[in-house]
Structure 1
Amino acid sequence: MDFIPANESPVFIKGFRWYTWLLFKRRFHKVWLRQDYYPKKESKTVYYLNHHSWWDGLVPFLLNEFRFHQQARALMEDTQMKKYPLFQKIGAFSINRDDRRQAITSLRYAVNSFEREQASLFIYPEGTITPPGLDMNFEGGLAWLYGKLHNVDFVPIGIYMHTIRHDKPELHLHVGKSDQIGQLKSGAKLTHHFEERLNTILDDLRTTAGFDDTNFEPFA
């Protein structure tokens, strides 16, 4: 399948913003947010997220439109891009994980996207939807991007849904602090570092979500 680039439509984004807001309001009893990272005007950011459900594909758009306000793009599996072409209009572009050459083309496109001011990228490093509760098992794309991007923040985002308190699900989102990588250099060590960061956030969400909202604020 040929590479599908992002093709943002400001008019479509404006309308889809409120559709997405109402969709989350209708489908979830409440959306909660813990935000430990606030991008500055000059910030450029890679956000990496877990991927346990269909809803995860809309979380980046919701966060960017109402909290981050960056020029956001997102990597999306090529088969899903073909199935949901509307995502191209809000900044998604395709990646073929089964073809290394095509995958590198997508990652290079991601790097070039950071030539824009206030650029950001959302990536699901596991590459596909995975069962909740398992430890992260990232592919190498996130570490590859870290090696190519400079003066860019890398920020984990945990997504957790539950029905502990209501028949309709609640959604808890935790935007972590920017990574402090230190002297890690090898791809394997970087990948493990990113996995551990997101695992820690998800473990905390599984422990507190639905029981203690002290560090969260209502999002929707």
Structure 2
Amino acid sequence: MRKANKLKAFEAIFSMIVRRMLQKHFQNIYVSTEVPALSPHKPTLIYANHSNWWDGLVLFYFNRYCLQTEAYMMMHEKGLKQHPYFSMLGAFSVDKTKPKDIVKALNYAKKQLDEGKAVWLFPQGDEYHQDTRPLHFEPGLAYLSTITDTTPQIFSVALYYTYLHERKPVLFIDISEELQKDTWVTLTRKERTRYFQQVLTLQLNGLQASTIENEASHMTPFKQLL
């Protein structure tokens, strides 16, 4: 398990690089206009679907320019070895083939949460096509929601990539309101996992149905992020 080694100066420089990359490869990125206000210095869990290579960079950019949380993100050990600079952005690793490593990674995530920081997760565990149903989550998200010293605020983020009428693709980002605690806090871990899956499934299905109309104007109100 590799810990994060966040460097503010590197984050600032890297954000400019990522912006140029996104401008080059995407026609635009749209984010839901009603981005919720996150309570600062409160443990925050944010989870998203994971369908391709861009997801981590997109969420880094989205967080920096919209949410502005003190963010940490769990990623595969292999991926962090290949791209060690991600540790300077807040990435920490987990080797899912080693149970002890999983425990260490979850305990490290808990530490960040207990210090009032945000932990971002891809609870599917691997990349799956964005239209794959049903969604299947590994138990880490539900586990973290139960072990923090203070009940965390939890948000769900749907990432949906598509083509409209341009050469380059567009991306829609939809973030939920805070998941109300009375809807999940009394559930068992398995029930919480199913609930978190259902929330994200509804978001993705909504974005999918809207993009079939093939017009950005038919989407729930979004604003341009690039």
Say whether the fold is shared (TM-score over 0.5): yes
Residue 187 of structure 1 corresponds to which residue in structure 2? 189
Among candidates 213, 218, 221, match of residue 215 of structure 1: 221
Residue 160 of structure 1 corresponds to which residue in structure 2? 160
Are residue 65 (structure 1) and residue 64 (structure 2) matched? yes
Deviates more, 1:18-27 or 1:175-184: 175-184
C-alpha distance after superposition, 1:146-205 (max 9, x if no partner): 001223211000000001322200010001111124253211100000000000000001
Q: Provide the C-alpha distance between the structure 2 equivalents of 1:152 and 1:181, rounded to a whole number of angstroms.
A: 9
| CA distance 1:136–1:181, change in 2 (3 Å) | farther
Residue 53 of structure 2 corresponds to which residue in structure 1? 54
Structure 2 stretches lacking a partner, 5+ long:
none
CA RMSD of aligned residues (A): 1.4
**TM score, norm. by length of structure 1:** 0.93
Q: Provide the C-alpha distance between the structure 2 equivalents of 1:59 and 1:65, rounded to a whole number of angstroms.
A: 10
C-alpha distance after superposition, 1:1-51 (max 9, x if no partner): xx1100011111110011111211111001000144221334431110000
Residue 125 of structure 2 corresponds to which residue in structure 1? 127
User: Following TM superposition, by how much is the alpha carbon of 1:144 offset from its aligned partner in structure 2, in angstroms?
Assistant: 0.2
Q: Provide the C-alpha distance between the structure 1 equivalents of 2:169 and 2:17, rounded to a whole number of angstroms.
A: 19
Residue 145 of structure 1 corresponds to which residue in structure 2? 144
User: Following TM superposition, by how much is the alpha carbon of 1:53 offset from its aligned partner in structure 2, in angstroms?
Assistant: 0.5
Residue 4 of structure 1 corresponds to which residue in structure 2? 2
C-alpha distance after superposition, 1:56-102 (max 9, x if no partner): 01122112210111211000011111111110010000011122221
Return the letter of the residue paired with 1:173. I
Are residue 196 (structure 1) and residue 202 (structure 2) matched? no
Q: Provide the C-alpha distance between the structure 1 equivalents of 2:45 and 2:206, rounded to a whole number of angstroms.
A: 22
C-alpha distance after superposition, 1:125-160 (max 9, x if no partner): 011101221121000000000001223211000000
- Paired residue secondary structure (1:113): helix
Structure 1 stretches lacking a partner, 5+ long:
none
Return the letter of the residue paired with 1:57. G
Q: Provide the C-alpha distance between the structure 2 equivalents of 1:77 and 1:28, rounded to a whole number of angstroms.
A: 26
- Paired residue secondary structure (1:57): helix
Return the letter of the residue paired with 1:187. R
- Paired residue secondary structure (1:114): helix
Return the letter of the residue paired with 2:152. V
Q: Provide the C-alpha distance between the structure 2 equivalents of 1:197 and 1:214, rounded to a whole number of angstroms.
A: 17
**TM score, norm. by length of structure 2:** 0.91
Q: Percent identity?
A: 23
Q: Provide the C-alpha distance between the structure 2 equivalents of 1:52 and 1:79, rounded to a whole number of angstroms.
A: 17
Residue 111 of structure 2 corresponds to which residue in structure 1? 112
Tell me the matched-pair count. 217
Return the letter of the residue paired with 2:193. T
- Paired residue secondary structure (1:160): strand
Q: Provide the C-alpha distance between the structure 2 equivalents of 1:107 and 1:169, rounded to a whole number of angstroms.
A: 35
